[in-house]
Structure 1
Amino acid sequence: MLRGILLVATLALVAGPTPADTLQPFSTMSSLDDGWAPLEFPNINKHSQYQLVTEDGVQVIKAQTRGGASGRIARIRIEPGDKLTLQWRWKVSNIYQTGNARKKDGDDYPARIYVAFAFEPDKAGFFERAKRKAAELIYGKELPGNALNYIWANKLPVNTVIANPYTDRTQMIVVQSGSDQTGQWVMESQDIVADYKRAFGEAPPPIIGIGIMTDADNTGESATAWYGDITLER
């Protein structure tokens, strides 16, 4: 979506406070901006809506979209090491009937979590390094490199790894697919290091951002999602 998640991550990471080394749990946030900044895009005026709500005595984030797109992001800096497990729970109201992870006009998901990694200039070409340097001089912040997206798809088999239709610098990993578990909380656990190696063929650089996204700007559909605490564990 939005000409690639690289642009998404760039917009989010060029602003905000100094990166943290831990994630603020949604269950302990005092406001929606407590550790998680808004993620909005140029030329997209219709945004998804996010709010803190309580379910079964636990505070979570509820996201709603009706043909819009926006998200929330936490700026962090963490060395993945040999193994780093990303854990979370989520729930969606429905899947998108016209969603298609292989096409730009279908690149929407009722729920997704993405992980942005530091740019590695020694592995990039001259022109890419030059463009990034110019952007950093303008924005004054570090721009991300590759990214992983953990998605709730509609048709692709679970564990499928597929390049984002806008950029192969973002690789999509299908964690849930189809409607069998819509309307119920689902616990997830992913080894970021193993996933990055499978997607990009090498060990990951530092993580510099983690975001949540419920979007429908390409399909024009509607969905509601709930996100529980996201944690990182060695």
Structure 2
Amino acid sequence: MFRWIILFFSITVCLPVTAATNLTSLNEKGIDNWKPKIFSGESIYSIGEYKERLALKALSHNAASGLVLKQQIDLRATPYLNWSWLVEKTLPQLNERSKNGDDFVARVYVVIDGGFLVWNTKSLNYVWSSNQDKGLVWDNAFAGSSVKMMSVRGKKAQKGQWYQEKRNVYQDLIEVFGDKGSEKANRKAYQYIDIIAIMTDTDNSGKQAESYYGDIIFSAK
């Protein structure tokens, strides 16, 4: 399933972000700049009003596909990733740390492109976990330590309720992939991300999920 890490690199033109930027701009069709990537069946994404706000709706039934934006972001300038999400259908009785259970009702993730040095590629997935507690980090079942899963929301999160999230991606990368020992070394390793993606997937479990995403925004504060 995690073959998508390598396949994403040539999807769109890479442009720098230097100020607070709304990468989706749902009210202005900014999501049209995100490209679909289908892996196993197609999760359906559409924009509409839901519970008093404009949202990107994601429906998945035994499918795995996402929306991807390849755009370089300087995390020293805009380290904070802001988004909102809501889940209506979760995936009960699923071991998300296993290959058979590597499905998530909602995830927003970033990728550092290692280029030809594929082993330098890293991905941090902010996930809504149906079965894990909030605040946990683990290696992906398929990709190992190069892909980290972080349960921003866990099994006790309420269905049908909007949650607003804010993560310092630069600090998260240092914490989950390791401090390089100096600010200079950390900047070299983690200053830039190259890909941002959204995905609701249920291909391994064969189940159904229904989720909603608000705008994806990087900011300085």
Normalised to the residue count of structure 2, the TM-score between the two structures is 0.85
Q: CA RMSD in A?
A: 2.2
Q: Which runs of 4+ in 1 moved over 4 A?
A: none
Query: 1:30: which partner in 2?
Result: 29
- Structure 2: stretches of 5+ with no match in the other structure: 180-185
Matched pairs, number? 207
Query: 1:215: which partner in 2?
Result: 201
Q: Determine the C-alpha separation between the residues in 1 that align with 2:27 and 2:124.
A: 26
Deviation at 1:180, TM superposition (A): 3.7
Deviation at 1:155, TM superposition (A): 2.4
* SS in structure 1 at match of 2:64: coil
* SS in structure 1 at match of 2:89: coil
Deviation at 1:196, TM superposition (A): 0.7
Gap change, CA 1:70 and 1:20, over 3 Å in 2: farther
Query: 1:85: which partner in 2?
Result: 80
- Bigger drift between 51-60 and 148-157 goes to 51-60
- Contact 2:12/2:71 (8 A) holds in 1: no
Deviation at 1:105, TM superposition (A): 0.5
The code of the aligned residue for 1:207 comes to I
Higher strand share: 2
Query: 2:140: which partner in 1?
Result: 164
Is the aligned partner of 1:67 residue 2:65?
no
- Structure 1: stretches of 5+ with no match in the other structure: 122-128, 133-142
- Contact 2:14/2:194 (8 A) holds in 1: no
- Contact 1:31/1:52 (8 A) holds in 2: no
Percentage of pairs with the same residue: 28
- Contact 1:82/1:193 (8 A) holds in 2: no
Normalised to the residue count of structure 1, the TM-score between the two structures is 0.80
The code of the aligned residue for 1:35 comes to N
Spell out the pairing of 1:37-116 with structure 2 (5 A cutoff): 37-41=35-39, 44=40, 46-55=41-50, 58-81=53-76, 84-116=79-111
* SS in structure 2 at match of 1:169: strand
Is the aligned partner of 1:189 residue 2:166?
yes
